Amino acid sequence: MPSQISTTLPSPEKLQEARAKVLARIAAAEASRPAFEGIAAPALLAVSKTFPAESVLALARAGQRDFGENYVQEGLDKLLACRAFDPDLKLCWHFVGPLQSNKTRLVAEHFDWVHSIDRLKIAQRLNDQRPEGMPALQVCIQVNISGESTKSGVQPAEVAGLAQAISGLGRLKLRGLMAIPERLDHPAKQSEAFAALRACLEATNLGLSPEKQMDQLSMGMSADLELAVAQGASWLRVGTAIFGHRAG
């Protein structure tokens, strides 16, 4: 369940200023990164968990369109509130948290992306429950790149098989890999984890047909986004650096 919804909210101006600073960090990191063939350019995913629809709308007014949520019901309530406030506002909603089987229908029916697929059963349920007429649900496989017992995600050796299976599901579009590496104080070792995820994507793509190959690396957050960009990150999942610390 989500922690307590934040009660002390940053002003719209503070949110927009914080977003601009994060975008500047991403741009500076991108300017010096090598070219990674087939991997999309880095983009900001504003992770708005525990912050209300008002905060999302304040960022949307500044041009932010991609928002990430960790909890299904909280995210759905926020998504619907934003749509009710402005039906013409086209936001892209990403589910980035652990996903249980009994919550897949809500995600399949309302979200645009899922970053946290860690088993075939979840992918199959999302595929079966994606309504006809909606675009394919964009998905990433979550990889336990640091091998932590407390983290979700498949082991790197299991990625290729799961990718093959997901690529055959017609209402899903496999886009990439996601990871939350172990937080390390040594920048070089932290970079190694991001590089390992990129290597896993590149190796997995060798076994996929060209039209099925992945182009997204969802990795890097507020504290380490520069390191992630340098290793090929495309989605930077940033919460604290934009919204501030969460209550609860």
Q: What is the pLDDT of residues 83-106, one digit of tens each?
A: 999 999 999 999 999 999 999 999
Give the separation between CA 218 and CA 232, rounded to whole angstroms.
9
Task: Give kind and range of the element (H or E) at residue 117.
Answer: strand 113-117
Mean pLDDT, the chain, as a whole number?
94
- Confidence at 3, pLDDT banded by 50, 70, 90: very low
- Please tell me whether residue 148 adopts helix, strand or coil conformation: coil
**pLDDT tens digits, one per residue of 157-173:** 999 999 999 999 999 99
Tokens 């919804």 — which residue?
Answer: 5
Burial of 214-224, coded b for 16+ CB within 10 Å and e otherwise, reads bbbbbbbbbeb
- Please tell me whether residue 105 adopts helix, strand or coil conformation: helix
With contact defined as beta carbons under 8 Å apart, do 216 and 234 qualify?
Answer: yes
Model's pTM, two decimal places? 0.94
Tell me what pLDDT residue 150 has.
84
How far does Cα 95 stand from its chain's mean position? Answer: 7
Q: What percent of the chain has pLDDT above 70?
A: 96
**pLDDT tens digits, one per residue of 189-201:** 999 999 999 999 9
**pLDDT tens digits, one per residue of 108-123:** 999 999 999 999 999 9
Q: Between vectors from CA 84 to CA 101 and to CA 173, what angle results, nearest 5°?
A: 40
